[in-house]
Structure 1
Amino acid sequence: MLTAVDHVQLAGSEDLLRAFSTGVLGMTETPKPPGPAARGGCWFEAGAGRLHLGIEEDFRPARKAHPGLRVTAIHAYAARPAAHGGTVTWDNGLPGHRRFSSEDPVGNRLEFLEGAG
């Protein structure tokens, strides 16, 4: 289960990211206040974490910059993007953590972390 979002903003296709955020990440969509809602995009929550997804002209996916998403049961959680055709790339380079990278349906990099203790 997703427990925290370390970093926040992504951009891309609102419809694709909405389906991915709720269906794959397991987040709940939350209403945006009227001002931000007029600009499009959508907001999501899981645990104490929030993810804001926006619309961007001339969008290019973030391949280096990324949100770091704290999860529990990371090996089971890795099956979620894999089941939807996403890549899962494990990385042992952060001491004290298990982590993997994947992409959302528009190509933005996502990192998933769990403490190894």
Structure 2
Amino acid sequence: MAFEMDDDAFADAVERALDEIPPQLREMMDNVAIFIEDRYEPGPHEDPDTVLLGLYDGVPLTERGMDWGDVPMPDRIFIYQEPILQMCDSEEEVIDEVTITMVHEVAHHFGIDDATLHELGWG
């Protein structure tokens, strides 16, 4: 059963999750935009049943070379509201899942892959 939460409350949960990122790391995220979307829409060559809780879209800091532009387009982190609410039964669970998802996507920005996240207990 999905937990019902209005958009403002969900946005507050995303803000709280972002606040959980240590300040020194947040400062290094000066060109990252965070978006809340209803759900992930798979591309034409993807499994139409793909469900994501979040997505990092950008070039990880570890892959940027000296030729990286002066003002590159911002990296983007998407947090998908509907699948998170579908898997949660309480506001506390939503906040926990949003936090886990945010940490996961921010880690990708810093070049940490899924395998390493799993080893660290974040997946």
TM-score w.r.t. length of structure 2: 0.26
Q: 1 or 2, which has the higher strand percentage?
A: 1
Q: Tell me which of the two structures has the higher relative contact order, counting C-alpha pairs closer than 8 angstroms and 6 or more residues apart.
A: 2
Q: 1 or 2, which has the higher helix percentage?
A: 2
